[in-house]
Amino acid sequence: MILENSFSGKEILTWRNFQLAKGGNSVDLDWLLDLGGGLSWSDLQILKISQERNYQLNLSLQELSVIWMRFLDQKIPLQYQVGRCPWRDFELEVNPSVLIPRQETEVMIDLALSKVNPCEKGIGRWVDLGTGSGALAIALARSFPKWIGHAVDCSENALTLATKNIEKLVSDSEIYMHLGNWWEPLTTWFGTFDLAIANPPYIPKSNFEKLDSAVREHEPHLALFGGDDGLDCCREIIKGSMNGLSPGGLLIIEHNCDQSERVLSILKKNDFYEIEFANDLEGIRRFALGRYTKK
């Protein structure tokens, strides 16, 4: 019996070298072999010493070549083509209506866990503002299993995808989905959010040309650009937090690499306290934190 998409190790290695000769790098190609082909990095190492054996892939080498060519020629991100993206300890479905979840954003969950003890606090309420694929919401639901969650997005397509990811990955959690702008759909729960988290669009409009074309041409501009200085959404979120947060509630927000001082000063001006910054995995100031109590 000949199995579909079954290839010898030798065929796969020859294919891999041929694709690399066209361009790109082995990290991206091996990501495609793993996420698209189902051949993990460790499978690939075994394959190198057992080349005569046959390996079963999820897609044919021909199909993988098409994806690789679209990645090289049209810069279509592999994650959109494969339709999936690993993030923290789970895998999300992604499509061009949402930003591809970035590794640096993973840190926000560790920051939340270091600032709020989910057990000590018993039941609480979190919100993910601008949820996109639902990445932060899913990780929050897993980290704060007894809490009630809310996820907001102004894109209907993004909210549909986030709902799908949430139903698949954290079906037992109590999470309410809202279509709308930042805090706007949440007025009913104002004053009750113990934790608000947001990775808003923060790239200044003027950086458009400087962006990598894979990002600029394929990721949703709605999730990328935050007005002239990049901080339009950030200001709106901070303002809304003053009504939305419970007494002493915590806001964690992601921003661009050069916006730390400005975001911290917006928090300070608005009487947030325990204001601090945190670095991303590359040591760049990427997050601002602060608590708020309404007077």
For ligand GLN, the binding residues (CB under 6 A) are 99, 102, 199-203, 215, 224
State the minimum distance, in angstroms, from the CB of residue 149 to ligand GLN.
20
Helix or strand holding residue 65 (H, E): helix 61-74
Q: Across-strand partners of 289?
A: 252, 276
Tokens of 108: 């926000």
**Which residues are CB-contacts of 169 (< 8 A; sequence separation ≥ 6)?**
90, 92, 138
Nearer to ligand GLN, 168 or 216 (CB): 216
State the minimum distance, in angstroms, from the CB of residue 189 to ligand GLN.
24
State the minimum distance, in angstroms, from the CB of residue 186 to ligand GLN.
20
Nearer to ligand GLN, 61 or 151 (CB): 151
State the minimum distance, in angstroms, from the CB of residue 250 to ligand GLN.
19
What sign has the CA pseudo-torsion 255, 257, 258, 264?
Answer: positive
State the minimum distance, in angstroms, from the CB of residue 236 to ligand GLN.
14
Helix (H, G, I), strand (E, B) or coil at 277: strand
* Cβ-contact 233, 200 below 8 angstroms: yes
d(CA 37, CA 221): 30
Nearer to ligand GLN, 241 or 259 (CB): 259
Nearer to ligand GLN, 13 or 211 (CB): 211
For helices 61-74 and 26-35, angle between their N-to-C axes, nearest 10 degrees: 140
Nearer to ligand GLN, 208 or 273 (CB): 208
